[in-house]
Structure 1
Amino acid sequence: MDGIYPSITRQAGLMREMATIAQNIANASTTGYRAEGLIFEEYIAAAESDAPSLSLGHAHGRTIDLTQGGLELTGGTYDMAVEGPGFFTVGGADGPLLTRAGSFVADPFGTLTTHDGLPVLDGGGAPIQIPPGDGDISVAPDGTLSRDGAPFAQMGLVVPDDAVGLQRVSDTRFAHEGALLPVENGRILHGFLEGSNTAPVLEIARMVEVQNAYGLGQNILQKEDERLRAMLRIMDPR
């Protein structure tokens, strides 16, 4: 059975990688989406008695691609894009969430929120309140929001102390249990949105590679099944 177990673990990992690729392709046009990758690693399983150990494939680690996505000019009053490193922070049920999706709105109470109602946080972690009035809203590169030239808040732009600790909680939001550090060299562009950093052509090419690898694994499992059946017929000809 030593030929079957490694193949099964490899097939399971390839299925997870296919799901990851499909997610990336599905979000190729999602504002602020960060592409995801899967990490394969070796897992050594101890065998019984004095038999040699068994090397298995293990694919549960994930990586988040933090490269810059394309910038699109929208002219929206509350549309913002991060140029360079950093994330906006929004209030979640269990703490602040990080996002690069900067399409925000002002709710009826004057709070700057995401389209599904999560408050956008300032540098101190408090919800940003838009002052009443009809003047124009402007956003400086450092995230300072002003109405008719009068500053009233500053966007919270942060980076995680360890990007490996990012946990995706939705298509464009991440939780992080470690420290969040203020960004020193990031810029906020007002009236822009950042697109997905998924490269659809590369993802489709990778999908074909994974499909071929999965088919090869299926062929190996079939050959092993035929070998075991033949062995059993020889051992028990009845």
Structure 2
Amino acid sequence: MTDGIYPTLGRQSGLLREMNAIAQNIANANTTGYRGGGMLFSEFVVDTGNGNPSVSMAHANVQTTNLTQGALERTGGAFDLAIEGDGFFQVDRNGQTFLTRAGAFMTGPDGGVVTPEGDALLDAGGAPVFVPPGSNAVHVSGDGTLSADGQPLAQIGLVMPVAPDRLARTAGTLFEAGDGTVPVETPRILQGFLEASNVNPVLEIARMITVQNAYELGQNFMTQEDERVRSIFRLMEQ
């Protein structure tokens, strides 16, 4: 008698996760290098046995990431870097490597090139990138070669995850590539630019309204189904 409620509960849970993803997208619409996300809905059929009809259940446990490139905005900053095309910067946080498209870097007291959060930018070999303190002219070529005062120092490493569809967001603009990464064959880095978020706020608000309507529809169905079951029990008690 409750076969309709359990599938709807699974659907409602997935819609709630989708709503949370949309809210995160809207909140980060102006975050440099942010990649919009969503949830992937899947279906599996439950065998109820004993000749009973099967039950179709829906879940949304898999996160998806929109890898579409965001708009490139000129800033003129020497350590503002944007990737044109495929690839991710590698940064080190507490000994663990993460991927990001957020290229707003700066130099620390020791000359290390870091993110605003203090994560070290890594070169193609996985080592932190340094610029000698007091350097005047800092130049980053299209292939990622970093020079200071005319002297090549390092090549910024760009990588792609082996399985882009399995990128796992850890925080904001940081991702983990659980299946590993491969170097980008033809990297393209622009100095003095930053990549904007690829979130379209208007489309996200439209998605939010659609998800909200679907959630309310499911809620109304469960209320009606609950009343139907209660009515059956009341009749049985008479």
Distance between the aligned counterparts of 2:172 and 2:86, measured in 1? 19
Once residues 82 and 21 of structure 2 are traced to their aligned partners in structure 1, the CA distance between those partners, rounded to angstroms, is 25
Shift of residue 177 of structure 1?
Answer: 2.1
CA distance in structure 1 between the aligned counterparts of 2:40 and 2:167, rounded to whole angstroms: 15
Q: What is the Cα deviation at residue 148 of structure 1?
A: 2.0
The Cα shift of 1:31 comes to 0.3
Contact 2:110 2:133 in 1 (8 A): no
Provide structure 1 residue ranges, at least 5 long, that are not aligned to the other structure.
none
CA displacement, residues 68-122 of structure 1 (integer Å, 9 cap, x when unaligned): 1011111112110001000000013353100000011111011111111111100
Distance 1:222 1:28 in 2: 36
Which residue in the other structure is 1:82 paired with? Answer: 83
2:35 matches 1:56: no
Q: Which moved more, 1:148-157 or 1:99-108?
A: 148-157
**Number of residue equivalences:** 237
Deviation per CA, 1:180-210, whole angstroms, max 9, x where unpaired? 1111233100011001000111111011101
Secondary structure in 1 matching 2:98? strand
Equivalent-residue separation in structure 2 for 1:214 and 1:201 (angstroms):
20
Structure 2 counterpart of 1:124: 125
Provide the identity percentage: 53
The answer on whether the counterparts of 1:79 and 1:192 sit within 8 Å (CA) in structure 2 is yes
The residue matched to 1:169 in structure 2 has which SS? strand
Is the contact made by 2:170 and 2:176 (CA closer than 8 Å) also made in structure 1?
Answer: yes
Distance, in Å, in 1 between the alignment partners of 2:71 and 2:165 is 23
Instruction: Give the gaps of 5 or more residues in structure 2.
Output: none
The answer to whether residue 38 in structure 2 is matched with residue 34 in structure 1 is: no
Paired residue for 2:154? 153
Distance in 2 (CA, whole Å) between partners of 1:18 and 1:204 is 10
Match of 1:72 in 2: 73
Name the residue aligned to 1:105: 106
Distance apart, 1:48 and its partner CA: 4.5
Q: Secondary structure at the match of 1:19?
A: helix
Provide Cα deviations, 1:149-175, integer angstroms capped at 9, x if missing partner: 211111011101111221111110001
Task: Give the TM-score, by structure 1 length.
Answer: 0.96
1-structure distance, mates of 2:62, 2:48:
25
> Structure 2: how far apart are the matches of 1:169 and 1:61?
14
**3-state DSSP class of the match of 1:167?**
strand
Contact 1:84–1:185 (CA under 8 A) maintained in structure 2: no
Matched residue, 2:230:
229
